[in-house]
């Protein structure tokens, strides 16, 4: 079984709808992340969480919210979806690097979201 799973894998929705993307992990990591990737571009950090009580905004948090329901679960919500939120969304987990903030990350398979 995959260590980091994301549901749904694909979603098409309409402008103004509320959408939730879910992420679960069996790696036992405290740290979890949500990234967005647009075609031909790199990953942009939306939110990250170092433990259940610690949630932090990333580069592009506007229009998004998150919930860390448990160590193993981290959900991303789009309160009112808009077309420019059409993208590939990745969840990731990591252990601490031991020397800094970000260690080796393990990514889920991604959710392809289309907002019409």
CB of 6 to other proteins, least distance (A): 9
Task: Give bridge partners of residue 64 from the DSSP assignment.
Answer: 78
User: Beta 105-107 vs 87-94: how paired, if at all?
Assistant: antiparallel
115 binds other proteins (CB under 8 A): no
Restricted to residues 44-73, the positions that interact with other proteins (CB under 8 A) are 45, 48, 58-59
x-marked contacts with other proteins along 7-46 as a string, rule CB under 8 A? --------------------------x-x----xxxx-x-
User: Beta 73-78 vs 19-25: how paired, if at all?
Assistant: antiparallel
| In contact, 22 and 73? CB cutoff 8 Å | yes
CB of 81 to other proteins, least distance (A): 22
């Amino acid at each position: 079984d995959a260590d980091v799973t994301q549901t749904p894998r694909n979603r098409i929705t309409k402008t103004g709808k509320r959408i939730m993307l879910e992420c679960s992990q069996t790696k036992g990591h405290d740290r979890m992340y949500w990234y967005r990737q647009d075609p031909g571009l790199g990953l942009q950090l939306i939110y990250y969480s170092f433990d259940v009580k610690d949630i932090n905004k990333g580069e592009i948090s506007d229009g998004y919210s998150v919930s860390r329901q448990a160590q193993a679960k981290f959900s991303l919500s789009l309160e009112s979806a808009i077309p420019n939120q059409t993208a590939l969304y990745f969840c990731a987990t990591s252990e601490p690097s031991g020397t800094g903030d970000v260690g080796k990350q393990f990514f889920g398979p991604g959710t392809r979201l289309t907002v019409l």
